[in-house]
Structures are given as C-alpha cells and as structure tokens.
Amino acid sequence: MPDELTDLLGPDVPASVLALAPERRDRLASLVRAARAREDAEMAEATGAALKGVPLPLRGAVRKALGA
Amino acid sequence: MSAAGSPAPSSEPDRQVGRLARLLGVDAAELDGLAELPDEDLRMLHGLVSEHLFGHARHRFAGIADLTRRLPGGVAGKLSERFLPPRMAARVAELLDPPRAAALAVQLSPDYLAELALALDPSRSEDVIQAVPPEAVGRAARSLFDREEYAGVAELVPALSDEALVAAVEAATSRDLLELAPLLVWDERIHGVVAELPDARLDALLGEVADEGLWSHGERLLTRLDPAVLDRLVERAADVGAEVVGSFEAASAAGLLGPESEAMLGRALEVRAGAPK
C-alpha cells in the first residue's frame, strides 16, 4: 500500500516509523511537506535577494554559484 | 565515568526528537510519540528528512561553498549574513574545509553563528565545528544560552574542541550550567572540565540553587558529579555564607531536597560544626 512518508522520504524509512499510528504518520508527513515548502520558499527568496543585493562586481559569480 | 552514579543519558530519544523538530522548524511537542522509537531509527529519519529538505539543492550549496572559498573571509562573512538564512549557511558550512569554516566563523555575528550552529548536523560536521576558534564558540554559546537553547548546546558539545568546550562553559552563567547539566552526556571530558571549575564557580552554583530555589536542578547536577567534585562542593557548602546554608536547611525541612542534596548538606553541616567528615 502506498505510504505518504515513503513517497516523500524514499524506501528507507525505518519500519518503526511506518508502524506509527496512521494519524501520527500523516501528521509527520504533513510536517515534512510544510518544512520542504518553507525551505524552498526561503531558498528562492535568498537567491532573489542575493542576485539583486550583492555588489555588482560579484553578481556574476553569485549567479553562477547559485546556478540561477 | 561518575562513581557518584551518573545516570545513563536516558534523554537520548528526546535529544533525537529535538533535533528532528529543529530540522522541521516545529516544537518537539508536535512530534508526540516519536520519542518511543529506537534512537537509530530516529537518526535515520533525521537523515532522510534532511536529504528531502536539502538534497535537491546540494549543487547550490556546493556552488556557494566554492564561491565562499574564493572570497576574502570578511566579504564572505558579510554576504553570508546578509543573504543566506542560517539553515542554508549550515548546509554550506558542512561542505567547507575546516580551516575555511573557522576563518568564516570569526567574521560572523554571535547570533548568526549561533543560529547556524543549531542548524548543523553535528555528526556530519564534527571537523568543521572542532575548527571553530574558542572565542567564537564562547560568543555563540552565550547567544544560545540567552535564548535558553540548552538542548541545542548539549547536541553540539561532543563535537567541540576541548578549548571551545571550556570557552562555552566560561560563557555560561550558573543558571545555564544547571539547565545544561542534565542534557549532557557525562563522559570523561565533561567530568574533566567540571573538575577544573574554580571554587568561585562552585560557590556561585550553590548560591544560584539556594537563591532561586532550584533544588531539583541542584539534585540533577549532584547525581552526575564525581566523588572528588562532590567533596569539593561539600567543602564549599561548608564555607559559603550562612544565608546559603540556611536556605538549604529550610529546603531540607520542607522536604524539597533530593537524597544527594541532603547528603551534601549533612556533610557540609558536619564540617561547619567542626566534626570529622
């Protein structure tokens, strides 16, 4: 049966975690999803701020470093 | 190893849940039920979540680490602090060689370095943490103590160099030490640092317990101390002001002292009365 935690974290999720009550597993999956969304948003914001805010001579190097 | 009966670090699952909660940016209470899982499984879960959150951006962190290597330390520090959230800076720091990480650490403000340190995975960044100069560690530790991030400090302690550990202890107030003590894994190194505490610090610890009524904090510390340090505390307790001893006696009469505290008080009173120990 598909499990949201293994969908998110891969097949190595420990058996003891998968044995948690379904509502706890769902809650954990939801916290992981929220954390990923937050990190992605933070990364996008930091990238944008860096590309706009670093001194001009460094902007190319920063763009390259960020792969942006 | 404490012959005084230092308890096993029974809070290890709580520590692991705390690490996971920090990674997820939530309160540990939101991970209700996880503390019952095996430590190894919690560590693995932490690693999987960390990979899920940051693995896809590894090339970016590597790029930033590479850029950081090519900039003067002061410039890299300023840019990091201005544009890189501490959790991301931690991922970059994990990719730096230790000398470069150390050179950067001294350029960062204590608060930023403290946030970054909390986001590090100590098991993956031990070399980097060990390289951070003691002065920078002391300043960051002070920032963490101010925010009562005792569990975070306890997680970092095993990775600190001896000198940095001493700097962190020196940055701690008596209250900080009392809060931190039960969260540490009391290995030989911790016992060694505590054994070197000067008398004035032992007096201050006794005073803090007495003044603030921190009887359970005091008891938790006493249960972890080596006999030689306990003997020193008895001597200090016998020598401190009557007010401190009076507070301990009042707490004893009220049944507030644990067995180790009662034993220390009893021995201290004997010394004060001039009776043989």
Domain ranges (residues) in chain B: 197-277
pLDDT at B195 over 90: yes
Residues of A with CB under 8 A from a CB of B: 8-10, 12-17, 20-21, 24, 27-28, 31-32, 34-36, 38-39, 42-43, 46-47, 49-50, 53-54, 58, 61-62, 64-67
A61: left (phi over 0), alpha (psi -120 to 50) or beta: alpha
> What stretch of H or E contains B159?
none
pLDDT given at position B241: 86
CA distance A24 to B37: 13
Return the residue of B nearest to A6 by Cα.
B48
pLDDT given at position A30: 96
Compute the average pLDDT of residues A45-53: 86
Binning pLDDT at 50, 70 and 90, where does residue B145 land? very high
pLDDT at B10 over 80: no
- Report helix, strand or coil for B25: coil
Structure tokens at B242: 């009557």
Structure tokens at B188: 């030989």
pLDDT given at position B16: 84
Compute the average pLDDT of residues B162-184: 96
The alpha carbon of residue B178 is apart from the nearest alpha carbon of chain A, in Å, by 33
What one-letter code names the amino acid at B237? Answer: A
pLDDT given at position B274: 82
B185 at A interface, C-beta within 8 A: no
Compute the average pLDDT of residues B242-256: 95
- Range in B86-95, B193-202, B254-263, B268-277 with the lowest mean pLDDT: B268-277
Binning pLDDT at 50, 70 and 90, where does residue B221 land? very high
- Is residue B120 within 8 Å of B150, Cβ to Cβ? no
- % of residues, chain B, pLDDT over 90: 69
Compute the average pLDDT of residues B143-167: 94
Interface test with B, best of A5, A32, A42 (most B CBs within 10 A): A32
Compute the average pLDDT of residues B97-107: 92
- Is residue B219 within 8 Å of B260, Cβ to Cβ? yes
Helices B110-119 and B86-93: crossing angle in degrees, nearest 10, is: 70
Instruction: Supply the mean pLDDT for chain B.
Output: 90
Alpha helices in chain B (DSSP H): 12-24, 39-54, 58-70, 73-83, 86-93, 98-105, 110-119, 126-131, 134-146, 150-156, 162-171, 174-180, 188-195, 199-212, 215-222, 227-239, 242-253, 259-272
Binning pLDDT at 50, 70 and 90, where does residue B9 land? very low
B41 at A interface, C-beta within 8 A: yes
* Residues contacting B256, CB < 8 A, separation 6+: B213, B215
Structure tokens at A3: 């499990």
pLDDT given at position B275: 54
Nearest in space to B55 (alpha carbons), one of A10, A4, A28: A10
Chain B residues 198-217 with a CB less than 8 Å from chain A:
none
The beta-carbon contacts of B50-56 under 8 Å, at least 24 apart in sequence, are B50/B23, B50/B121, B51/A9, B51/A10, B52/A8, B52/A9, B52/A10, B52/A32, B52/A36, B53/A32, B53/A35, B53/A36, B53/A39, B53/B23, B54/A39, B54/B91
pLDDT at B266 over 90: yes
